[in-house]
Amino acid sequence: MKIGIAETRRPLATLSLVLAMALASLPGTAAAQVTVFLPTEGDLQATLALPGDVRRGKDAYAECQTCHRTDASGRSAFNIPRLSGQHASVIIKQLMDIRSGLRVNEDMREYMHDSDLTLQDFADMAAYLQSLPVEGKIGQGPPELVPRGQALYASDCAGCHGEHAEGRPELFFPMLASQHYGYLLRELDLILSGERGNSNPAMPPILKNYAAEEKQAIAAYLAQLPAPGKGVAPETPK
């Protein structure tokens, strides 16, 4: 555990919303209820309520390109996630959680405190990023693990993240398809250890039963999966 980071965190969300979900009909989850931890101070709801402007969002995103790339396809080598095509609600929630320290990401947190980004900027950037096509190179895992990953995903994860890993914007479930292998693998470990800080409590009990190769298999499956509705199959980096 990184104690220093933990100490600087604000208390866990003051507001915890329990959503009763009709997941029974979906494949592969026993979870009938999902707890979504919302950041403090009502900023999440305030930002979600703001109409995002794609053009302004493009300008505001200029500050982020050094790390996340101009096309927002991320950087496999540095575990920087692809943001293009991700749900606006997910991007806003993650930004809020990173800003408040609930999700541990010291680089970005410092950066966001130093910059003068407003809630409107967050809404605009999220609208812009969601509108982007999924392009660029997505880091891939071992192809031979993909079938195993597909089976595990269908039984353990699809109930929340969707049959095609498209996510669920209204519940802040991220799209996982076409995300970098290395980033996914890293997040799975941070979610399991609790170090990510903001992840859904339903995930660690599932993940703790997995061998290393099973986590690799799921990540390999998701990385090569085309982003639903975005139409572009990920390209393997050379």
Separation of alpha carbons 203 and 161, rounded Å: 11
Under rule CB under 6 A, residue 93 binds ligand HEC: yes
Task: Fill in the per-residue mask, 13 to 52: x = in contact with ligand HEC (CB under 6 A), - = not in contact.
Answer: ----------------x-x--x------------------
Task: Write down the least CB distance from residue 214 to ligand HEC, Å.
Answer: 9
For ligand HEC, which residue of 160, 223, 225, 227 counts as binding (CB under 6 A)?
A: 160
Span interacting with ligand HEC, options 4-12, 42-50, 51-59, 152-160, rule CB under 6 A:
152-160
156 binds ligand HEC (CB under 6 A): yes
Nearest to ligand HEC of 46, 151 (CB atom):
151
**Considering the rule CB under 6 A, would residue 146 count as an interface residue with ligand HEC?**
no
Please give the Cα distance from 234 to 85 (Å, whole number): 13
Q: How far is the CB of 226 from ligand HEC (least distance, A)?
A: 17
Residues 6 or more apart whose CB falls under 8 angstroms from that of 71 comprise 84, 132, 135, 136
- Under the binding rule (CB under 6 A), the answer on residue 166 touching ligand HEC is no
Per-residue binding letters, 170-199, with ligand HEC (x by CB under 6 A): --xxx-x-------x-xxx---------xx
**Residue 67 in the binding site for ligand HEC (CB under 6 A):** yes
**Residue closer to ligand HEC, measured from CB, 5 or 232:** 5
Q: How many residues bind ligand HEC (CB under 6 A)?
A: 42
Burial of 107 (0-12, 13-18, 19+ CB in 10 A): exposed
Burial class (CB in 10 A: 0-12, 13-18, 19+), 128: buried
CB 212 within 8 Å of CB 219: no
Binding of residue 111 to ligand HEC (CB under 6 A): yes
157 binds ligand HEC (CB under 6 A): yes
Distance CA 103, CA 163 (A): 26
Sign of the Cα torsion 22, 24, 27, 29 reads positive
In this chain, which of 79, 119, 131, 164 binds ligand HEC, going by CB under 6 A? Answer: 79
Residue (of 232, 200, 9) closest to 99 by Cα position: 9
Largest interatomic CA distance in the chain = 46
Q: Is 120 in the site for ligand HEC (CB under 6 A)?
A: no
Identify which range of 40-48, 58-66, 136-144, 223-231 contacts ligand HEC by CB under 6 A: 58-66
Evaluate whether 223 touches 141 at the Cβ level (below 8 Å): yes
